[in-house]
């Protein structure tokens, strides 16, 4: 999907002052990283490594795995498309509602695509299961014991587990070290979410050497640029500068969920992360998105293009208390306008 993602802030010029539309925490300071990047200008005159081994080694060490268990990619999106290419033509099932790129990648590479609503629907008639955990756009976590039991029971099925949002939950999750010990798991990770650097396009896969070798056959040379590799190395060495305020975000998730529910015009799904999926009783998500952008300088995610959702659905990722209060006020105004029009 080229269009229709969150964080389309480029469409609004300088209108936006609070961005809830992507699942990135927007309040890390990148001052030190930007200063470091300024010193790397000479890198643009040379090709990067065909395969970013120098970044894979320190990442593997931090994760407690070997370099044979990791593959750095041009964002989690390249990891998704490489995996779909490696299993070209297979029978794939996507657990929905979820990120649309899994289905798009499967269609591009001629998979026999189906949708399921839960892990209990996995059967041996499926070759590959795609599951986002924690899930986007619901923010919900598949219980670790349930996921492991399903993986163990279906040993001939490959489970592609997108763990991009792992930093945003306190619940136990499958770890990269555990995933690498399982012969039928491919785990996808995003440095975008961990460090809030979507412009760098850095992600990686952790899996068994056998599965990584299969996926690696589809890899293009030089897919990760020199500056991105250097920035990735810098980030692994300065991880302490990117401590996510998880407790605050989870507290705000509960507060915002309650306040939105009390407005009376929308319902909020239970979430295990900072992500909230909401459904309007009246009005539409596209109309709400434009109203908030133009009247309040707020950007949300119209979630109507997720499989299984419709035009009443929108998604937010909670931010600071002050920004969240502005969001509540903006949605209150929109709902009041909708109610006024319905009465006339």
Domains and CATH numbers, the chain: 9-25+245-343 (3.90.1150.10), 39-241 (3.40.640.10)
In contact, 194 and 24? CB cutoff 8 Å: no
pLDDT over 90 (residue 139)? yes
pLDDT, position 304? 93
C-alpha distance across the termini of the chain, in Å: 39
In contact, 334 and 291? CB cutoff 8 Å: yes
pLDDT over 70 (residue 89)? yes
State pTM to two decimals: 0.93
Computed over every residue of the chain, the mean pLDDT equals 95
pLDDT, position 258? 97
Render pLDDT for 212-251 as a digit per residue (tens, 0 to 9). 999 999 999 999 999 999 999 999 999 999 999 999 999 9
In contact, 182 and 49? CB cutoff 8 Å: no
Q: At what angle do helices 101-108 and 75-86 cross, to 10 degrees?
A: 40
pLDDT, position 106? 98
Radius of gyration of the chain (CA): 20
pLDDT, position 339? 86
Question: Rounded CA gap, 224 and 54, in Å?
Answer: 12
Q: At what angle do helices 53-63 and 226-237 cross, to 10 degrees?
A: 20
pLDDT, position 79? 98
Q: At what angle do helices 246-262 and 321-343 cross, to 10 degrees?
A: 20
The pLDDT of 173-182, averaged and rounded, is: 97
Question: Rounded CA gap, 271 and 239, in Å?
Answer: 26
pLDDT over 60 (residue 6)? no
Render pLDDT for 63-88 as a digit per residue (tens, 0 to 9). 999 999 999 999 999 999 999 999 99
Q: Collapse the DSSP code of 293 into the 3-class scheme (helix H, G, I; strand E, B; otherwise coil) and give the result.
A: helix
For residue 328, the cross-strand partners are none
Sequence-separated (6 or more) residues with CB below 8 Å from residue 322: none
In contact, 63 and 177? CB cutoff 8 Å: yes
pLDDT, position 14? 86
| Confidence bin at 342 (pLDDT 50/70/90) | confident
């Amino acid at each position: 999907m080229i269009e229709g993602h969150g964080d389309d802030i480029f469409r609004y010029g300088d209108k936006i002052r609070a961005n809830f539309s992507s699942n990135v925490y927007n309040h890390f300071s990148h001052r030190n990283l930007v200063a470091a990047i300024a010193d790397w200008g000479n890198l643009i005159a040379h090709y990067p490594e065909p395969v970013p081994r120098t970044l894979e080694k320190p990442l593997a060490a931090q994760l407690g795995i070997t370099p044979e268990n990791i593959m750095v990619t041009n964002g989690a999106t390249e990891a998704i498309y490489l995996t779909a290419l490696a299993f070209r033509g297979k029978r794939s099932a996507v657990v929905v509602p979820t990120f649309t790129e899994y289905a798009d990648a499967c269609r591009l590479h001629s998979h026999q695509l189906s949708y399921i609503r839960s892990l209990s629907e996995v059967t041996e008639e499926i070759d590959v299961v795609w599951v986002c955990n924690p899930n986007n756009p619901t923010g919900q976590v598949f219980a670790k014991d349930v996921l492991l039991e399903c993986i163990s029971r279906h040993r001939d099925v490959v489970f592609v587990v997108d763990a991009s949002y792992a930093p945003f939950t306190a619940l136990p999750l499958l770890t990269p070290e555990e995933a690498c010990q399982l012969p039928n798991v491919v785990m996808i990770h995003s440095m975008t979410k961990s460090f809030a650097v979507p412009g760098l396009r850095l992600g990686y896969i952790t899996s068994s050497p056998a599965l990584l070798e299969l996926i690696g056959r589809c890899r293009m040379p030089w897919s990760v640029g020199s500056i991105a590799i250097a920035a990735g190395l810098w980030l692994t060495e300065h991880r302490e500068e990117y401590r996510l305020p998880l407790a605050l975000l989870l507290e705000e998730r509960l507060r915002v969920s309650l306040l939105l529910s009390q407005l009376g015009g929308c319902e909020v799904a239970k979430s295990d992360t900072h992500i909230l999926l909401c459904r309007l009783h009246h009005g539409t998500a596209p109309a709400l998105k434009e109203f908030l952008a133009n009247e309040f300088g707020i950007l949300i995610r119209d979630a109507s293009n997720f499989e299984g959702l419709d035009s009443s659905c929108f998604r937010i990722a909670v931010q600071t208390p002050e920004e969240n209060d502005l969001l509540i006020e903006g949605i209150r105004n929109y709902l009041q306008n909708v109610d006024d029009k319905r009465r006339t």
